[in-house]
Structure 1
Amino acid sequence: MAAPSSGGRGLTGEELLALPAVIDLDTANKALMIGRSTGYGLARQGDYPVRVLRLGNAYRVPTAELLKLLGLETEGGGDVTGDRAESGALAA
C-alpha cells in the first residue's frame, strides 16, 4: 500500500485514522516522520518504536499500535487498541 500524499510531511490525524489494520513500514515511517533508511535500520535491529511484523522480505506494522503510540483515539473517545465493550460500542 502506498502512503497517502501529504506534501512530504507526516500523516494527518485523518489520514492515520483511515489506515488499514496493518501497514507497510514506509507508511509507518511517514506517520512517525522517520526517514526510510532510519526506519528500516530500526526495524532490522528490533528497535522500532512499535512492533514490526516480518513477513518474508516485507515489514508490516499494526496500525492500532502506531495510533496508540501517537496518542490518537477513536471518535467515541475510546483507546483504538482497547476492547470495544470498554469504549461503550457494545453497551446496551
Structure 2
Amino acid sequence: MNHQQRALDVRGMSEAEVIALPVSIPLEFANRAIGLGRTLGYAMAKRGEYPIPVIRLANAYRCRRADLLEYLGIQDRAEAA
C-alpha cells in the first residue's frame, strides 16, 4: 500500500468523495484527503512546504482539486472520458 492509499484509508474519504470535491477546495479538505492534521497542514502551507500548490486569498488557503488528485494518484473519471 503506497502513501496515497494509506492517506485515503486514514482520513475516511473515499476516492469518489475526493473526485466529487469542487475545483477549488479549502486547505482543510486537502489536509483531510492527504492525511495531515489541521495544525501541521496550515503550518506547512504558511512555510511554503505543502505537498501541493496552495493559493492564498486574504486569510484563506485553497488548493486545486486537480493538484490534489494528481498527488493522490487518482484519475478523475469525468476528465478521462
Cα distance between partner residues in 1 of 2:79 and 2:38:
32
Find runs of 4+ consecutive structure 1 residues off by over 4 angstroms.
none
Q: 1:40 to 1:76 in 2, by over 3 A?
A: closer
**Sequence identity of aligned pairs in percent?**
44
Which structure: greater helix fraction? 2
SS state at 1:51 partner: coil
Higher relative contact order (CA 8 A, sep 6+): 2
CA apart distance, 1:66: 0.4
Query: Letter of the aligned partner of 2:15 in structure 1?
Result: G
Alignment counterpart, residue 27 of structure 1, candidates 20, 26, 29: 29
Q: CA 1:15 to 1:37, structure 2 compared with 1: closer, same or farther past 3 Å?
A: same
Instruction: In structure 1, list runs of 5 or more residues that go unmatched.
Output: 1-7, 79-88
After TM superposition, the structure 1 stretch with the greater mean CA deviation from structure 2, 33-42 or 69-78, is: 69-78
Number of residue-to-residue matches in the alignment: 72
The TM-score with structure 2 as length reference comes to 0.81
Which structure would you say has the larger Rg?
1
Secondary structure in structure 2 of the residue aligned to 1:20 = coil
Root mean square deviation, CA, Å: 1.8
